[in-house]
Amino acid sequence: AQKVTQAQTEISVVEKEDVTLDCVYETRDTTYYLFWYKQPPSGELVFLIRRNSFDEQNEISGRYSWNFQKSTSSFNFTITASQVVDSAVYFCALSEANDFNKFYFGSGTKLNVKP
Amino acid sequence: NAGVTQTPKFQVLKTGQSMTLQCAQDMNHEYMSWYRQDPGMGLRLIHYSVGAGITDQGEVPNGYNVSRSTTEDFPLRLLSAAPSQTSVYFCASSYSRASGYQETQYFGPGTRLLVL
């Protein structure tokens, strides 16, 4: 079974629109970590955020915000006032306490921000 | 700090050829890993290492070998390349996870491999 599901394969928005990228995860562990990475067209993977399972406080960093809800096993990512430079593939990932050595990535959401 | 470096950036192989993808990090990270990225499948873990001399299998280890003789280097070997191994390969590293605390992984720029 897929441990991390990113159901949105591709999203297109116009610049300055807000956009939310969904991430749903599956785990039986009570201790786990969730991550978001950005992969711009140049191909590298850029770390955005790490969140542990005991911290459900939402986080905001500039135009980026993350909504972690254990009740729905979701860790969604919102970009406010999107910009063309936000165009990239975004990956959500999970690591569980019973095996911290393994990361499970979602299939990614490609975001296209048009001017 | 160069971070995580990978060579080559791009490689074309014929079926049955062997090659080694190089990965090095200069951050004194104990944990290193290899992933492959295929369209629509995200990244999948091939092998990982928690320190020099210690390696273990990930989700998709078949067809790949690894070794870790130094903290800095973690090469990935394809002994007999197959078209199914056409992919983009990423190396990553992080501080030790021995304490159970999940450290963030930092990724190299990737190697694009085409097997004909």
Kindly report, residue by residue over B66-97, the tens digit of the pLDDT: 999 999 999 999 999 999 999 999 999 988 66
Q: A106 touching B, CB under 8 A? A: yes
Q: Which of B97, B100, B110 sits opposite A43 (nearest CB)?
A: B110
> Would the pLDDT of B101 be above 70?
no
Residue A81, Ramachandran bin (φ over 0: left; ψ between -120 and 50: alpha; else beta): left
Residue % of chain B over a pLDDT of 90 = 78
> Would the pLDDT of A102 be above 80?
yes
Q: What is the arithmetic mean of pLDDT over A83-104?
A: 90
Interface list for A 40-79 with B (CB within 8 A): 43-45, 47, 50, 52
Is A107 in contact with B104 (Cβ distance < 8 A)? no
> Would the pLDDT of B99 be above 60?
no
By mean pLDDT, which of A70-84, A89-103, B2-16 is the weakest? A89-103
- Report the mean per-residue pLDDT for chain A: 92
- Residue A52 pLDDT grade (very low, low, confident, very high; cuts 50, 70, 90): confident
Task: Name the one residue in this structure whose structure tokens are 């116009």.
Answer: A14
Q: B97 touching A, CB under 8 A? A: yes
Residues of B in contact with A5 (CB under 8 A): none
Residue B8, token pair as written in the block: 């080559």
Q: Which of B31, B50, B106 sits opposite A47 (nearest CB)?
A: B106
